[in-house]
Amino acid sequence: MTQKTHLYDLDFPALTHFVTELGEPKFRARQIWNWLYTQYVADVSEMANLPKELRVRLATAVSLNTGKIVVKQESSDNQTSKVLFQLPDGQYIETVLMKYAKRRTLCISTQAGCAMGCVFCATGQMGFFRNLTSGEIVQQVLYFARELAAEGEHVTNIVMMGMGEPLHNYDQTLTAVDRLITTDGFNLGARKITISTVGLVPAIRRYAAEGRQTPLAVSLHAATDEERNKLIPVNKRWPIAELLDACREYVIKTGRRITFEWALINGENDTLDQAHALGSLLKGLICHVNLIPLNPTEGYGGRPSSREQVDAFQAALASYGVSSTVRVRRGIDIQAGCGQLRDRHTIELRRKLPKDSIQS
Ligand code: SAH
Ligand code: SF4
């Protein structure tokens, strides 16, 4: 049997090529594209303006199956919902929808697992399985776009803060971004899609050189190499001074503000020493710091900082003119922290199934 073409992996020129290869006129590509990216249909049989005969042919030639939902959870306040998808090869990925005022923000995955091994992160604790394709990244967005459309709403923001390191899967991630910002398609503004990175210096430099308009967030979490090495193994490869150089280059080349992420861990990176070191490091850079009390995970003993410590940390930063926001981790009751739903699911599966029947 010939392999099916994954429609979500195709950009418009590739879709046009595919359609003409099938012996169909070019305008069919536009029709299919609209069904996918403005109507969000997930089944060829719903593409009502295609001839029935073509729909039958497409059903055997293409695949829109990029995963089945194995767990879906709503937070108790109904503001956060999280889906665990199982991809056709058995891998798990998570996607989260967060509703806040008029915002409908999706937190999406770019890899199954992650190779970076940050000690506090549930995804880092499980290790790396594989990169996602651009179609698998896009499909997570379309799933929730379809759900929101049924309520007369739409996706307003995307953050690449689910499972995986987006810049470790650079090409597929940025191809997915390009697909989502296509104006005669899904049409989300580039500025609404935030790429979050652990700090892969060559990739940040490439991103800066490409003049990308999608905002960049860097997961810093510590202001000295000694502390950061303990939390983020990749810091040994690209220490803070090199990382900050690349961040400065990004700000200069794009003229855009950069965001730093900081998970506050009690007695670890929430000390006033760290706050002052961070203040000195960022002084004068066009940036903003997001302070997020740690979300505890099974594989790491750290605890979130107290409110008083968070306030003291923020005040110390402000004395350097560095702005920051304290973010509340939303959806903790549904394991909406990165990697946590997949963790919970496989732990439960392990209890039920013989050990070697689970991939991980
Ligand atoms: N790999 C990318 C994006 C995915 S992680 C990155 O590291 O930036 C998304 C964000 O969640 C990162 O800022 C990461 O440091 C943070 N994070 C991971 N585990 C966390 C935890 N247990 N508590 C708080 N933040 C966490
Ligand atoms: Fe990977 Fe980001 Fe988790 Fe680090 S924090 S292990 S880079 S997903």
CATH number at residue 44: 1.10.150.530
Count helices and strands (H / E) in the chain: 12, 14
Q: Are residues 46 and 119 in the same domain?
A: no
Is residue 260 within 6 Å of ligand 1 at its C-beta? no
Is residue 162 within 6 Å of ligand 2 at its C-beta? no
Last residue of a domain, one of 63, 81, 110: 63
Inter-residue contact 66 to 88 (CB < 8 Å): yes
Nearest CA to 348 among 32, 133, 12, 71? 71
Q: Annotated active-site positions, please?
A: 94, 338
Is residue 165 within 6 Å of ligand 1 at its C-beta? yes
Nearest CA to 162 among 80, 91, 208, 106? 106
pTM, full prediction: 0.93
Q: Are residues 223 and 293 in the same domain?
A: yes
The enclosing domain of 248 has a CATH number of 3.20.20.70
Q: What is the pLDDT of residue 347?
A: 54
**What DSSP assignment string belongs to 87-139?**
-TTS-EEEEEEEEETTEEEEE--SEEE-SS--TT-HHHHH-EEEEPPHHHHHH
Q: Are residues 163 and 217 in the same domain?
A: yes
Q: Are residues 36 and 129 in the same domain?
A: no
pLDDT tens readout for residues 274-316: 999 999 999 999 999 999 999 999 999 999 999 999 999 999 9
Nearest CA to 294 among 334, 337, 331, 257? 337
Is residue 120 within 6 Å of ligand 1 at its C-beta? yes
Give the ligand with the smallest distance to the CA of 235.
2
Q: What are the backbone dihedrals phi and psi of residue 297, each rounded to the nearest 5 degrees, phi first?
A: -125, 160
Per-residue pLDDT band for 77 (boundaries 50, 70, 90) equals: confident
> Does residue 355 lie in a domain region?
no
Per-residue pLDDT band for 3 (boundaries 50, 70, 90) equals: confident
Averaged over 159-169, what is the pLDDT?
Answer: 97
Instruction: Tell me which DSSP letter residue 162 carries.
Output: S
**Amino acid letter for position 342:** R
Give the ligand with the smallest distance to the CA of 115.
2
Q: Which residue has its alpha carbon closest to ligand 1 atom 10?
A: 161
Averaged over 2-6, what is the pLDDT?
Answer: 85
Q: Are residues 42 and 97 in the same domain?
A: no
Tell me how far the alpha carbon of residue 125 lies from the centroid of ligand 2, in angstroms.
9
Tell me how far the alpha carbon of residue 323 lies from the centroid of ligand 1, in angstroms.
20
Gap between the Cα atoms of 274 and 276, Å rounded: 5
Q: What is the pLDDT of residue 296?
A: 92
Q: What is the pLDDT of residue 358?
A: 36
Q: What is the pLDDT of residue 105?
A: 95
Q: Which residue has its alpha carbon closest to ligand 2 atom 6?
A: 124
pLDDT tens readout for residues 59-76: 999 999 778 999 999 888
**Amino acid letter for position 273:** D
Domain housing 11? 5-63
Q: Which residue has its alpha carbon closest to ligand 2 atom 4?
A: 118
Q: Are residues 134 and 42 in the same domain?
A: no
Is residue 263 within 6 Å of ligand 1 at its C-beta? yes
> Does residue 356 lie in a domain region?
no
pLDDT tens readout for residues 311-345: 999 999 999 999 999 987 665 555 555 556 566 66
> What Cα–Cα distance (Å) separates residue 81 from each residue in 71, 123, 337?
10, 19, 12
Neighbouring residues of 254: CB distance < 8 A, sequence distance ≥ 6: 208, 211, 212, 213
Q: Are residues 85 and 52 in the same domain?
A: no
Give the ligand with the smallest distance to the CA of 292.
1
Q: Based on the structure, what is the number of domains in the chain?
A: 2
> Does residue 295 lie in a domain region?
yes
